[in-house]
Amino acid sequence: MILVLNGPNLSRLDLREKSHYGDLSYPELREFVERSAEELGVAVDIRQSDDEATIIGWLHEAADKALPVIFNPAAFTHYSVAIRDAAALLRGPLIEVHLSNPLTREEFRHTSMIAGVSTGTIAGFKQDSYRLALIAMKDLIEKTQ
Ligand code: DQA
């Protein structure tokens, strides 16, 4: 099981800048990720929260169960030391994903607290960032089996 965690404001993708985030609403993004996972033959558990503590709880769960995690921390990417510390507990691979490419955007988005504790980062491909992360994760899992 791959946990796919999404941070704050991603549930309102339909109201956010389409030029950065693409055309999909959050329910459509979920469907896209579910479909991509099915095509790749991997199981996913997709969750979203605006609440830092809830996300930290999910990272603890992933650490306890040694689950692989695909994680879009959204705005928490740029400032949450607590989320970084929780992500550092993980024992399976962690792929940081972003719909947009934060490095092409405002300077405050250029820092990722999570990148240093991630296996790798995929950013800038809109919804395809998640599909590419699933492909990379499947590969990582197969290599460690
Ligand atoms: C984001 C990029 C972040 O800078 C932003 O705060 C988000 C979404 C992305 O997916 O492109 O909420 O993580």
pLDDT tens digits, one per residue of 121-143: 999 999 999 999 999 999 999 99
Is pLDDT above 90 for 29? yes
Alpha carbons within 13 A on the beta-carbon side of 64: 6
Please indicate whether residue 98 is annotated as part of the active site.
yes
Mean pLDDT of 108-122: 97
Mean pLDDT of 98-121: 97
The Cα diameter of the chain in Å comes to 41
Are 67 and 1 contacting, i.e. CB atoms less than 8 angstroms apart?
A: yes
**CATH code assigned to 2-144:** 3.40.50.9100
pLDDT higher at 95 or 17: 95
Domain ranges of the chain: 2-144
Q: Is the CB of 11 under 6 A from ligand 1?
A: no
User: How many whole angstroms from 145 Cα to the centroid of ligand 1?
Assistant: 32
Cβ-contact 52, 10 below 8 angstroms: no
- Does this model's pTM top 0.75? yes
* pLDDT (0 to 100) of residue 117: 98
Ligand 1, residue 8: give the atom nearest the CA: 12
pLDDT score recorded for residue 19: 87
Predicted confidence (pLDDT) per residue in 38-94, tens digit = 999 999 999 999 999 999 999 999 999 999 999 999 999 999 999 999 999 999 999
45, β-bridge pairs: 3
Length of the chain: 145
Ligand 1 lined by 98 (C-beta under 6 Å) = yes
Tokens encoding 82: 């607590």
DSSP 78: G
Q: How confident is the model at residue 103 (pLDDT cuts 50, 70, 90)?
A: very high
**For ligand 1, atom 7, which residue shows the shortest CA distance?**
74
**Ligand 1 center to residue 49 CA distance, Å?**
14
Report d(CA 114, CA 23) in Å as an integer.
26
> Which pLDDT score, from 0 to 100, does residue 17 have?
86
- Tell me whether strands 120-123 and 44-48 are parallel, antiparallel or unpaired: unpaired
